[in-house]
Amino acid sequence: MQTPSPGRARRREAVTFYLLISPWLVGLLTFTLLPIAVSLGISFTRWDMLSPPELVGLRNYARLLDDRLFWQSLSVTARYTLMYVPTELVGGLLLALLMNQVDARGIRLLRTLYYMPSVLSGVAFVVVWMWLFHPEAGLINAGLALVGVQGPRWLVDPHTALTALWMMSLWGLGRTAVIYLAGLRGIPRELYEAAAMDGAGAWRSFVGLTLPLLTPTIFFNLVLSIIATFQTFTSAFVATNGGPLDATLFLVLYLYRKAFQEFQMGYASALAWVLFALVLAFTLLVVRSGRWWVYYEGESP
Amino acid sequence: MRSSARLRRWLLLALLWGVALLFLIPLLWMLSSSLKPTWQIFETPPRWLPDPPRWENYREALTTLPFGLYLRNTTVITLLTIVGHLLSCTLVAYAFARLRAPGRDTLFVVMLATLMLPYPVTMTPLYVIFHRLGWINTFLPLTVPAFLGSPFYIFLLRQFFLTIPRDFEDAARIDGANIVQILAWVIVPMVAPALATVTLFTFQASWNDFLAPLIYLQRPDLYTVTLGLQFFRSTYTTNWAYLMAASLTTMLPVIAVFFAAQRYFLAGISLAGIKG
């Protein structure tokens, strides 16, 4: 018997590779690329899924520009992103820095307690918070009453509803903190000892050492939380259904209404494309900016 | 000097445990409310210990709607999704980590790019496609895609594959094992912890999923627990004791699994986070 030539072995390896990834390739084509193409096509039509689609050119996109609710949903999503992303990044880091000061046994217990709420997303999570935010009998306003403050009406007041949803999201802060903690504990102790020998104080070694070495983790959390805010749906759908007075009408909620309650598939597809373009633009912006501020050890392609 | 260091330490611990308490209060309050008789629910100032605890709330809340059926539906969907992810993601991740082929690196970048694609972008056209296939009001739109891999878990498993040595695979190959045998007998046992992470993340995401079931399951006998709870909420808006009992019940499996297998959740986070 002859041993196969290196060329043949390489060809066989390539065939095996494509065989093994074929499930994902099929999924990529049918459940990712095909839908993106289909929705571009649908976005140029008017279609209720009952009668045949009618070609309307760019009219759906033109309508978007005049649609007050579209601009409202953009503004809600943008304001929420501006509230959520910084608190998530800074709050999570602060929590992780504090946790990192405690001995190993304490860290383990605290990590469990902080992390646990973040696995409880979904409707039940939102229902619990609706009860906490109840204007008369909710625990939050009861707590405020203890210190003599008359609490707002939270989810039923257009001025506070978005803030309430943001406070709700803070319950998941532990997840970010745990990601940071993993990053912090990956920094070798010797580096701190060396910095201390050079006379660096706590602040100098934080700014000069911890922060730069943590930039990959910060970057990762930044990308994750931007993507998360663009997808906010369940909390707004269950707790406020976009209200009061459209104060919590997130982009995805508006998209859901247009597609699955009003069956304006063409218009909804145009909305989805705008969402797609926005996410793409933001991700590219963040990834590009990462070249300037993210520090990778042993930088090499 | 020493006493001020000790004071700082006490302050730190007080702060950390205070925050931990803040994180726990919603859960304790949910438990407390779920056991209250109606007249104690709206008491001010709120009472923490229901007197007497009303356990019937659970029975009554969970039997006004067929929650047993919802639990069964959710379990079927979750199990199928887990099996699908384990099978497909292991194969794809192994290929990306170990095999050389033209176009591999480009495809890997494409996969990372789809990781950034939010689900809502494709949900409208996906509905149209599944409608064409006649899959609306079946579990198929929620389970079949799982058998075609998920970029996040493929990425996670690939990172894990890269950390284990090739020696065992090479030895098995010299012994004449084919790729299926290598995967089943050599690779899977070695990456068992990473597979556990994929299982748990999938369980959590699938159990809590709301948007996809909301779109595809419109018949009440197909509802998952999240849909059932939402329906229950819109019907019994004011009965907070029932709502808390039902919410706690749907959260309980996730809480139990979290405490039983915490380290696999944490392993997933450090795998994705540090090398990302």
In whole angstroms, give the CA distance from residue B190 to residue A110.
30
* Two structure tokens written together for B206: 């699938």
Q: What is the pLDDT of residues B116-164, one digit of tens each?
A: 888 888 999 999 999 999 999 999 999 999 999 999 899 989 988 888 8
Q: Is residue A300 scored above 60 in pLDDT?
A: no
- List, in sequence order, every residue forming a beta bridge with A46; answer none if it has no partner: A54
ipTM attached to this prediction? 0.89
Judging contacts by C-beta atoms under 8 Å, the chain B residues touching residue A179 are: 269-270, 273
At residue B87, the pLDDT reads: 95
CB-based contact B244 A131, cutoff 8 Å: yes
CB contact under 8 A, B215 and A230: no
Domain of A155 in residue numbering reads as: 67-293
Cβ atoms of A161 and B249 within 8 Å: the answer is no
Does residue A45 lie in a domain region?
no
Nearest to B228 by CA among B247, B253, B201, B204: B247
* B3-37 confidence digits (pLDDT tens): 888 888 889 889 999 999 999 999 999 999 999 98
* Chain B (1-40) residues lying within 8 Å, Cβ to Cβ, of chain A: 12-13, 15-17, 19-20, 23-27, 29-30, 33
Q: CATH number for the domain including A118?
A: 1.10.3720.10
Distance in angstroms (rounded) separating the CA atoms of residues A125 and A233: 13
Cβ pairs bridging A and B (under 8 Å): 262
Chain segment B180-217, per-residue pLDDT in tens: 888 888 888 888 888 998 999 999 999 999 999 999 99
CA distance B20 to chain A (A): 6
- Rounded to a whole number of angstroms, the distance from the CA of B30 to the nearest CA of chain A is 7
C-alpha closest to that of A25 among B199, B154, B173, B206? B154
- pLDDT above 60: residue A48: yes
Interface residue B159 vs chain A (CB under 8 A): no
pLDDT of residue B59 exceeding 50, the answer is yes
pLDDT digits (tens, 9 = 90+) for B231-268: 998 887 678 999 999 999 999 999 999 988 888 888 77
On chain A, the residues whose CB falls within 8 A of the CB of B17 are 110
The answer as to whether A300 is a domain residue is no
Least CB–CB distance from B116: residue in A98, A227, A238 = A227
Closest CA to B257 of B194, B205, B184: B205
DSSP code, position B164: S
Considering Cα of B246, then B251, then B253, then B259, what sign does the dihedral take?
Answer: negative
What pairs with residue A55 in β-bridges? A45
The model's pLDDT over A163-218, given as tens digits with 9 standing for 90+, comes to 999 999 999 898 889 888 888 888 888 888 888 888 888 888 888 888 888 888 88
Q: What are phi and psi of A46, to 5 degrees?
A: -110, 125
Is A39 within 8 Å of B125 (Cβ atoms)? yes
Nearest CB to B124; choose among A14, A227, A265:
A265
Q: What is the pLDDT of residue A4?
A: 58
Predicted confidence band at A237 (pLDDT cuts at 50, 70, 90)? very high
Kindly report the nearest CA distance between residue A43 and chain B, in angstroms.
10
Q: Does A3 score more than 70 pLDDT?
A: no
In the block, which residue shows the tokens 């605290």? A110
Nearest-5° Cα angle at A116, A111 to A120 = 160
Q: Which two tokens stand for residue A289?
A: 């900016």
User: Is residue A3 one of the residues assigned to a domain?
Assistant: no
Is residue A162, in this structure, part of any structural domain at all? yes
Interacting residues of A226 by C-beta distance below 8 A, sequence separation 6+: A81, A85, A282, A283, A286
The CA distance from B89 to the nearest CA of chain A, in Å, is: 8
**CB of A158 closer than 8 Å to CB of A101:** no
pLDDT at residue B276 is higher than 70 = no
Element of type H or E holding A123: helix A123-132
**Residue B157: which H helix or E strand, with range?**
helix B151-163
Helix axes B240-260, B225-235, angle to 10 degrees: 160
Number of domains in chain A: 1
Looking at residue A253, what is its pLDDT? 96
Nearest to B146 by CA among B90, B189, B88, B210: B88
A24/B215 touch (CB, cutoff 8 Å), yes or no = no
Residue at A103 is within a domain = yes
In 3D, which of B199, B84, B201 has the Cα closest to residue A23? B84
* Rounded Cα–Cα distance for residues A6 and B268 (Å): 38
> Among A123-132, A271-280, B25-34, B261-270, whose mean pLDDT is lowest?
B261-270
pLDDT band for position A43 (50/70/90)?
A: very high
Is A183 within a domain? Answer: yes
Which helix or strand (DSSP H or E) is residue B80 part of? helix B67-98
Could you tell me if A15 and B103 are in contact, meaning their C-beta atoms sit under 8 angstroms apart? no
- pLDDT exceeds 60 at position B73: yes
Contact B276 A216 (CB under 8 A): yes
- Percent pLDDT > 70 in chain B is 96
Are residues B157 and B142 in contact, defined by beta-carbon separation less than 8 angstroms?
A: no
Minimal-distance CA residue of chain A relative to B33: A131
Is the alpha carbon torsion for B5, B7, B9, B12 positive or negative? negative
Q: How far is CA A51 from the centre of its chain?
A: 37
Q: What is the band of B273 on the pLDDT scale with cuts at 50, 70, 90?
A: low
Does a structural domain hold residue A107?
Answer: yes
Is A4 within a domain? no
Q: What is the DSSP letter of A2?
A: P
